[in-house]
Chain A
């Protein structure tokens, strides 16, 4: 059985949602990891959930990166184990240097909560291996600072290393400015590190696992991850 750990920072508010989605659909083995903990032993995947860690009063994720648990998360990541940061979790991954780039406020200067479509463009990470080319995943975003920024050189590097995992698109998978909800460079909705085991994404897969809530597309990302981890375990 794959074991998940969901980190609880003060101000996390999607921690219970991630826990519930994992437990309901993917694995009985899931724990909360308190931000003051320094023990992440025994987990197969760590989730950094969404929310407003420390109120996000400085920059989003800027204080959470100093939480004791983060140095363990870094070690976990450098051992090649999968880490997924969703929304505020993505912002924390950026602040802690596990992923490149930075977040700006949405171009509308307003919080945006709505369903969007994203298209997987990298099929080599454990999170996206099982996804299909040209599929449009129907998934919610909910953020005030989801406008991903990286300079030209950084973008080229991301492209060269195949680190862009998801891009905002329309329901037919077409990527264009018209379907960019927040102004992100190159419609970026999610990126990974060079090794591909650390994923940060602004949309919330945990919010669309249950068909009762209108979409179960988010399940596919977790299923891809489980498949990869199971394969690794059998090998």
Chain B
């Protein structure tokens, strides 16, 4: 690569606007040189600066008595969980790299999110992922799914952090632009919180980990543009991951953080060395000076621009107390890692970069890290919105065979078991996984040395968000919270990954704004702080934007092992109770999309007050030891939810089914069986507790219907005194567990 003379044209090619370029010139009082231009362009990219979203992200509630590190202040937020312990967690996207190189794209996504967590001083103990692909009938989608799953498996398994759960949807909206959102959670003691700040003039700046190469230059800029045919040429913008190196980094850094030698620590993720130096300096209110010639390099002839912008993986920046250098070097030496002193903290607020002694960057650190422009983008309600609301669903024909429709929903890859995927992930290493994947609505891990456990989930239905972004955003939070409650937990924090199209399009920005308001209002209603996350714009392929998909990662605290609750039926003879309303409509449902090819309709009524009441009632019942199983009613409606309870509760040679009779509400059977109204939970209880529970619900004005009982081996579903579905549990069991593999073969 060669240095170019900086002109407006070169600035535009770097993705900066004319206005931004002139702001930079006035900040510096001169035209930036080529290296400085590169540095500004990545730091002021959407990916690093959130310039188009920041104004709206302020809507999220971010404070609360348990918040120890707030969203946006550091690499990840931290929430107190009592006993002197805290958790740090975050979700992040790696959509664009995964679209062009699924294996490395997904793998380095995992690497990046893990670094965000151990940078905070936390030991990473759980990974999750939330994936969206096009329909599996498209050959390229199979390639992407296979690559992404292998990439996650490769990185997560090797580094030895269990992938305990997640979700996958298949919908044509994501064809060509898959969503790969990765989540990591770590645990730490209060006194071990580490921060990404540089302070104390004269303290040393250490570069640790893998050597720098030309990979991933401008990855952050790449993530801030639409995908098109030319995106394949962006393959060099995708980094290559080395989970073994990262494993050494995790162990060495956590060992290092037990000493008093560290002032600040930050990973080199997006925008690499550039971002980590100017951000740490800006946070510490200091300046930083580094010498690039000292940076370990694995390629010859790299120019400063390349070294600064490289996104080579598995690298960390550590600010070391003056005088503690040898202690730090000894620890990295033990782990056979590079640790090079590349500079020091200064007091002039500048990010100053030298190359063989010559200054190549001299820029105020704060201007780079915190003073990117903030835009208030225009938005406009898209035409489809109103049109969808008035679609008349009365014209939709009822299924000829309810049994056939039911089985085809069960075998829908978005609904069917994801066993084929999670068996490729090591989900048991660390020996904390109390509930295995596929068994409960949330993943459950124990915290060794305490009585407590954590319930973790990710959730978002993109179709709901497309049809009604505000309600869809609310539902994403409500459903995630419901998942955690069904597993026996109390929600304590949210992290979000906001996947949208091009924010310059007014209709897209309208989706974004409304989703954010929905998510924010729901978080406020539940009183759950948002601890951080990530915005991913420009998720488009040549046919248009993906459905708005604000993925919610939600963490809950389970007070005791006795509260851990799974979705599967437990004993024949137990009563099945539906908490929440029985009636629904088919608007926005998977049934409507799959069987009738309609992505539309008005979503079923959603009432936040009712949602909260149902959740807190269920949580109380669980805490009182009255609930044997709990399962949230979601995609596929009541019929699929009940079937899942039966299937998940069945072991080899011991099948549990259900005999269910739903009372006639006067509505069509398909809306009752397959409608996806929110605020509903299927619980089973010991027969003798039934009356008492229903009475309690009535007192609290929460709908609770006794709809049937658990039986052995038959699955029978009646509506309005008519048997609509009658199957053996073993047959639906086989459909559910083999469907994904069958659609891949």
Contact = CB atoms under 8 A, between A and B. Distances in A.
Interface of A: 10-11, 13-14, 16-17, 20-21, 50-52, 54-57, 110-114, 140, 142, 144, 171, 204, 206-207, 210, 212-214
A142 B431 contact: no
Interface in B426-442: 426-431, 433-434, 436
A213 B431 contact: yes
Interface string B649-682: 0001100000000000000000000000000000
List the 8 closest pairs (A to B, CB-CB), nearest first: A13-B160, A55-B244, A52-B158, A142-B426, A17-B431, A113-B426, A111-B424, A111-B153
B423 A55 contact: no
B335 interface: yes
A142 to B, nearest CB: 5
B427 A113 contact: yes
B426 A207 contact: no
Contact of A16 (B425, B427, B430, B561): B430
Contacts of A207: 428-429, 431
A112 B426 CA distance: 8
A54 B153 CA distance: 17
B158 A56 contact: yes
B431 A113 contact: no
B424 A14 contact: no
B734 interface: no
A10 B248 contact: yes
Contact of A113 (B150, B245, B428): B428
A221 to B, nearest CB: 15
B158 A212 contact: no
Task: Identify whether the interface residues of A are mostly helix, strand, loop, or mixed.
Answer: mixed
B331 to A, nearest CB: 13
B738 interface: no
Contacts of A113: 157, 422-428
A192 B17 CA distance: 68
Nearest to A12: B160
B14 interface: no
Contact of B244 (A11, A213, A214): A11
B423 A51 contact: no
A57 B244 contact: yes
A104 to B, nearest CB: 18
B428 A112 contact: no
Contacts of B433: 213
A20 B247 contact: no
B120 interface: no
A20 B424 contact: no
Contacts of B422: 113
B244 A142 contact: no
A14 B423 contact: no
Contacts of B430: 16-17
Given A54-B244, A212-B561, A13 B159 contact: yes
A139 B652 CA distance: 16
A206 B423 CA distance: 19
Contacts of A144: 157
Contacts of B153: 110-111
Given A56-B244, A207-B428, A212-B561, 7 more contacts: A10-B247, A14-B429, A17-B429, A21-B431, A204-B428, A212-B434, A213-B428
A142 B429 contact: yes
Contacts of A114: 423
Contacts, number: 83
A112 B424 contact: yes
B431 A20 contact: yes
A51 B335 CA distance: 16
Given A10-B335, A142-B426, A111 B157 contact: yes
B336 A10 contact: yes
B244 A111 contact: no
Which residue among B242, B423, B428 has the maximum number of chain A CB atoms within 10 Å of its CB?
A: B428
B429 A55 contact: no
B157 A11 contact: no
Nearest to B160: A13
11 contacts: A13-B247, A13-B429, A52-B243, A52-B247, A56-B244, A112-B424, A113-B157, A113-B428, A142-B157, A212-B561, A213-B433
Contact of A55 (B243, B425, B431): B243
B446 interface: yes
B448 interface: yes
A171 B652 CA distance: 9
Contacts of A212: 434, 446, 561
Nearest to A112: B423
B455 to A, nearest CB: 15
Nearest to A204: B428
Interface in B322-350: 335-336
Interface string B154-188: 00011110000000000000000000000000000
A55 B446 CA distance: 27
B148 to A, nearest CB: 13
Contact of B158 (A11, A140, A204, A206): A11
A144 B156 CA distance: 13
B448 A55 contact: no
Contacts of A17: 429-431
Nearest to A21: B431
Contacts of A110: 150, 153, 424
Contacts of B424: 110-113
A64 to B, nearest CB: 12
Which residue among A13, A50, A56, A144 has the maximum number of chain B CB atoms within 10 Å of its CB?
A: A13
Interface in B82-103: none
Nearest to B652: A171
Nearest to B153: A111
Nearest to B433: A213
Interface in B413-427: 422-427
Nearest to A34: B334
A11 B335 CA distance: 10
A154 to B, nearest CB: 29
A140 B436 CA distance: 11
Nearest to A51: B160
A21 B432 CA distance: 12
Interface in B230-256: 242-245, 247-248
A61 to B, nearest CB: 14
Nearest to A212: B434
B645 to A, nearest CB: 19
Interface in B124-171: 150, 153, 157-160
B145 to A, nearest CB: 13
Nearest to A181: B423
A213 B164 CA distance: 13
B428 to A, nearest CB: 5
A210 B431 contact: yes
A62 B371 CA distance: 51
A213 B243 contact: no
B433 to A, nearest CB: 7
Nearest to B245: A55
Contacts of B160: 13-14, 51-52
Which residue among A11, A54, A210 has the maximum number of chain B CB atoms within 10 Å of its CB?
A: A11
B158 A142 contact: no
Which residue among B243, B247, B425, B427 has the maximum number of chain A CB atoms within 10 Å of its CB?
A: B247
